[in-house]
Amino acid sequence: MSDNSITSRLYPTRIDIPAEARVQIVVLLNQTLAATSDLKTQAKQAHWNVKGTDFYQLHLLFDELAGELEEFIDLVAERITALGGYAFGTVRAAASNSILPEYPLDILDGKDHVTALSDRFAIYAKHIREAIAKTDDLDDLDTADLYTEVSRTIDKRLWFLEAHLQVAEIKEENGKTSTTKTQKTPAAVK
Ligand SMILES: [Fe+2]
């Protein structure tokens, strides 16, 4: 949904936030709505298709993530309408307006699903943090507060996801460091 004339449509309202600011906020919120809806379906995709020895705990975790994102969808869409905007909440609108990459449909293993979701939660977290600053600049502290609430939860969930990966990543990092050292030693001797 790249047509801003549609996503920025405003209805008459008595709210005291200037229309010029509300147009920009509604466009931003519609981007967030699309990304949130996209991410929710990606978490569900992982919930349904994950395999491996950690199946059950990941199956439950991914469903918790999807449930939280479902609540954010409603929060974001209703903020759009409270500002006099039109919420574009269909799956097709989400698909055409989301900032996230498509979810890999061929993965099975728990670690691959955790990695795919971590990558996407990180992109989403960045979008949300930038939106806090943008809405703050536009003097809409209520929307900035909404984004702050979402941001705290998403950062926490990114931690939950990445905690599954960090032991292996630290070991890999340490392995690289020791390899570098052993490679450097002969060069230094020369
Ligand atoms: Fe389920």
Give the Å distance between the CA of 63 and the centre of ligand 1.
6
Angle, alpha carbons 99-170-127 (nearest 5°): 15
Structure tokens at 50: 């994950």
Query: 107 and 113 in contact (C-beta within 8 Å)?
Result: yes
Give the Å distance between the CA of 128 and the centre of ligand 1.
27
Q: How much is the pLDDT for 5?
A: 60
pLDDT digits (tens, 9 = 90+) for 107-139: 999 999 999 999 999 999 999 999 999 999 999
Q: How much is the pLDDT for 7?
A: 62
Give the Å distance between the CA of 46 and the centre of ligand 1.
10
pLDDT band at 155 (very low <50, low <70, confident <90, very high): very high
Give the Å distance between the CA of 47 and the centre of ligand 1.
7
Residue type at 49 in one-letter notation? N
Query: 38 and 98 in contact (C-beta within 8 Å)?
Result: yes
Give the Å distance between the CA of 178 and the centre of ligand 1.
44
In the predicted structure, residue 157 carries a pLDDT above the cut 80? yes
Percent of the residues in the chain that have a pLDDT greater than 70, as a whole number: 89
Give the Å distance between the CA of 62 and the centre of ligand 1.
9
Q: Calculate the average pLDDT of the chain.
A: 91
In the predicted structure, residue 170 carries a pLDDT above the cut 70? yes
pLDDT digits (tens, 9 = 90+) for 55-95: 999 999 999 999 999 999 999 999 999 999 999 999 999 99
Tell whether domain 4-8+17-185 is in CATH 1.25.60.10: no
The residue ranges of every structural domain in the chain are 4-8+17-185
Give the Å distance between the CA of 18 and the centre of ligand 1.
43
Q: How much is the pLDDT for 18?
A: 97
Give the Å distance between the CA of 34 and the centre of ligand 1.
22
pTM reported for the whole predicted model = 0.88
Give the Å distance between the CA of 69 and the centre of ligand 1.
15
Percent of the residues in the chain that have a pLDDT greater than 90, as a whole number: 82
Give the Å distance between the CA of 166 and the centre of ligand 1.
27
Burial 105-121 (b: 16+ CB within 10 A, else e): eebeebebbbbbbbebb
Q: How much is the pLDDT for 171?
A: 85
Q: How much is the pLDDT for 178?
A: 65
